[in-house]
Structure 1
C-alpha cells in the first residue's frame, strides 16, 4: 500500500503552530527590546491577576486557558520574582488568593506598550481589514472548539451565575 503524501503546509494545525511560533517570537523580541524578562503566559497571568485581584489559581488558569499545573509553575516563578503576592483565602484556608505586587504593576505598565506594538507585526502580511477578519475567524474557531481543549477558557462571570 502506497502512502499518500500530505502537504502539511496546507493543514490548519501546522499553520496554526507556525503562526504561534511567529507570535511568540515577535512577543519575545518586543519585550526584550525594553529589557524585560517576560513570557506570553506570564504576561497573560499577570493581566488576569491585575484585572481580578484576589483570584485563585484555578480561576486564573481558566481565564487564560492554561492547565492548572502549568500555571502553578508560572505563578511560582512570578512569586519568586516578587511580581505576585499569594494570600491565604479567608473563605478557604487551602486556597491562595493572587494579587499583583507593586513590582508586578510596574512591569505590566512597561510591558503593555511593547505587547501592543507586537500585535500588528504578527499579522503584518495582511491589510488592517484582513487582520480584523482573521482575528474574528480565529475567535469563532476557538469558541466552537473550546471544550475540546485540555485547558478550556473559562469566563468568571459565567462561573458566578
Structure 2
C-alpha cells in the first residue's frame, strides 16, 4: 500500500475530486452548467448583495485572479451583474440577477443532497463529527493558505 493512502492531504484531495465530480454531474443532470466555485460565488453574492470582487474572494477563500474569471463567466451566463459603486467609481458591486437568484434557489437543495451522497459511507453521528473535525482543521490552518477565508 502506498504511504499517501494514510496522509490527510491525499485523502482530502481525493474527497475533493469526488465532490467536484459529483457536483458537476448532478447539476448538469438538472440542466445547469456550474462549477462548485461558481455556486460558492453565487451563494456569497446572494447573501451579501453589493460586495466587491476582493471581498467575494475573501468570503469564499479563492484568489482574486480566479474570482475575476469566475465573475466574468457568471456575468456571461446572466447570473450576476456588476454595478459601479456610487462612493468609489472605480469599484464594482456584485448582485445576483433574477436568473441568478432562481438558480441558487433551485440548486441549493440539490447541493445539500450531494453532501449526503459525499458522506454516504458515514452514519449521521460520524457525518456530524467529520464535519466538525474538518471545520476545526480548516480554521487552524486557514492562515497557511494563499487564499485564506476572511468573513466578518
Please give the range of the TM-score, normalised by the shorter of the 2 chains: over 0.9
Structure exhibiting the larger radius of gyration computed from Cα positions: 1
**Equivalent in the alignment of 1:49:** 45
SS at match of 1:94: strand
1:136 aligns with 2:125: no
Give, in whole Å, the separation in 2 of the partners of 1:110 and 1:147.
34
Which runs of 5 or more residues in structure 1 are unaligned? none
CA RMSD of aligned residues (A): 1.2
1:18 aligns with 2:4: no
Give, in whole Å, the separation in 2 of the partners of 1:131 and 1:6.
26
Give, in whole Å, the separation in 2 of the partners of 1:69 and 1:51.
22
**Equivalent in the alignment of 1:82:** 78
**Equivalent in the alignment of 2:69:** 73
CA contact (8 A) 1:34 1:114 kept: no
SS at match of 2:90: coil
**Equivalent in the alignment of 1:117:** 113
TM normalised by structure 1 equals 0.91
Give, in whole Å, the separation in 2 of the partners of 1:6 and 1:108.
40
Q: CA deviation at 1:150?
A: 0.5
Following superposition, which runs of at least 4 residues in structure 1 exceed 4 angstroms of deviation? none
Q: Deviations over 1:127-159 (max 9, x none)?
A: 11001000000000000000000000011x3xx
Provide the aligned length of Structure 1 versus Structure 2: 152
Give, in whole Å, the separation in 1 of the partners of 2:2 and 2:29.
39
Q: Structure 2 residue aligned with 1:62, among 40, 58, 73?
A: 58
1:99 aligns with 2:95: yes
Give, in whole Å, the separation in 2 of the partners of 1:132 and 1:33.
28
SS at match of 1:93: strand
Q: CA deviation at 1:29?
A: 2.0
